[in-house]
Amino acid sequence: MEERVQKILSRAGLGSRRACEELISAGRVRVNGNVAVLGSKADPQRDRIEVDGRPINLAEPLAYIAIYKPRGVISAAQSPDPRPTVRDLVPVPGHLYPVGRLDVDSEGLILLTNDGELANRLTHPRYGHEKEYRVLVARRPDETQLETWRRGVVLEDGYRTAPALVRVESLAGKGTWLRVIMREGKKRQIRETGSQIGLPVVKIIRLRIGTLQLGNLKPREWRHLGEAEVMALKEPMGLKGQPGKPQPRPAKAGVKPRQPGSRPKKSGEPARQARRTPEKGRRR
């Protein structure tokens, strides 16, 4: 059965669907000797699909691993940087790619998987997937700074951050631990936001990606996800309704919603008079 090439590549463990689309756009993918383009389809059982001249392997068994990334470790499967990657910390065979990257100075939860469909759902902005952090800032914030962070700020490159949930968790000497929940993940966004509003960030620990919790994992520790955890991640990401489908508009204040099957009034048409039924057996 034919399907889009990027979906086949993703299922074969070559990254998220978006990452596989980049492989195709770069001309690195061939189907039966012909360079694939976005939109190309193939049958993995019948067609020869190659990436950089090497045939892809058939789909591996799906794997899902939660890991506590420590500081100083790179959030990548491989890197020219001599520092270790999260993949180096998990001695499990197969193609595993990080979902929910953290900068090298941050720590906390990362998901490693070869499930490209899930990786796409967890990282694509369309799904607005929540990520939760503990953030240590060097000062004690005032309410104005917290409200600014909650509303969103304009970063140095002109990008305006989306609204976030921010609350004070505890004091730490001259600094403060904050709890921050976001639905986006621009590179170094938390650090740049803190710098922009006068709250230098000292430490970042990610606690949650959607429904997946860091739990009791310590730095460098990892574990396989249970079936219930995987199923929860594949739910509609905590959003109302199915992602990508338009939701019904809320009724305006004071306007009674139209009942199913009723005919909407045409422009200029007088309102119908309520039909009166004769009263039976009325006593005088």
Active site residues: 103
Distance CA 182, CA 167 (A): 12
Cβ burial of 10 (10 Å; 0-12, 13-18, 19+) is: buried
- What tokens appear for 153 in the block? 């700020």
Q: Are 257 and 251 in contact (CB under 8 A)?
A: yes
Distance CA 140, CA 12 (A): 48
